[in-house]
C-alpha cells in the first residue's frame, strides 16, 4: 500500500532508500538541508556533486549518500545558487526526484520542504505543491511505497499536516460528487 507519511525530525537520519536534498542548481552544499547533509554525509557527497553539476533549475540528479543511512541522495534543484525558488522549479524538481527514485527501484524516499526556508518560498504553498505532486506520482506506475516528508520543527510539520488533510478532503469531495 502506497502512503504519504509526515515526520518532524532530521532528514539526515531518515532510514530510507533515497533522501532528497533541497539543492541549488550549482549543487554547492551550503546551508539549510544541504548544509546538514554535507555535515553528516561527509565530503564524498560534495565531490560527487562537483562531478555532475551544475544542473538546470527544476532538474534533479543522484549521487551516493556518503555516510547517511540512505542508499541514494537525490539533489532537487529548486532554486539557482543565491536565488529563490518558484512554484515551477519546486514542482519540476520534485517530479524529477520521484522519477529518479522510481528508476532506481526505491521503495522509500524522504523529502524536505523543497524551496521553503533558504529558497524563500511560502511553506504553505510548498506543502500544497509537494503533496499534490507526490499524490499524482503515487497514483501512477512507481516502485515507491512510502514517501516521507521529513520536516524541521513543529510549525513546518503542522503546515504540511494541514495541507495533507485539505488534499484528502478535496479528494473525498470529488469522489462524492462523482457518485
Please, are residues 127 and 113 in contact by the beta-carbon 8 Å criterion? yes
pLDDT at position 170: 82
pLDDT at position 171: 80
Query: pLDDT tens digit string along 87-111?
Result: 999 999 999 999 999 999 999 999 9
Give buried/exposed letters for 116-129 (b at 16+ CB in 10 A, else e): bbbbebebeebbbb
Domains and CATH numbers, the chain: 3-177 (3.40.220.10)
pLDDT at position 168: 82
Amino acid at each position: 500500500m502506497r502512503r504519504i507519511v509526515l515526520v518532524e525530525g532530521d532528514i539526515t537520519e531518515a532510514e530510507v532508500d533515497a533522501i532528497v536534498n533541497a539543492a541549488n542548481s550549482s549543487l554547492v552544499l551550503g546551508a539549510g538541508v544541504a548544509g546538514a547533509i554535507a555535515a553528516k554525509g561527509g565530503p564524498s557527497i560534495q565531490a560527487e556533486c562537483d562531478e555532475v553539476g551544475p544542473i538546470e533549475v527544476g532538474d534533479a540528479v543522484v549521487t551516493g549518500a556518503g555516510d547517511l543511512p540512505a542508499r541514494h541522495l537525490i539533489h532537487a534543484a529548486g532554486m539557482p545558487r543565491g536565488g529563490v525558488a518558484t512554484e515551477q522549479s519546486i514542482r519540476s524538481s520534485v517530479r524529477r526526484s520521484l522519477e529518479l527514485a522510481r528508476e532506481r527501484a526505491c521503495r522509500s524516499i524522504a523529502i524536505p520542504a523543497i524551496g521553503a526556508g533558504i529558497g524563500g518560498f511560502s511553506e504553505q504553498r510548498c506543502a500544497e505543491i509537494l503533496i499534490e505532486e507526490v499524490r499524482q506520482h503515487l497514483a501512477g506506475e512507481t516502485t515507491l511505497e512510502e514517501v516521507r516528508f521529513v520536516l524541521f520543527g513543529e510549525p513546518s510539520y503542522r503546515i504540511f499536516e494541514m495541507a495533507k488533510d485539505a488534499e484528502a478532503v478535496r479528494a473525498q469531495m470529488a469522489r462524492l460528487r462523482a457518485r
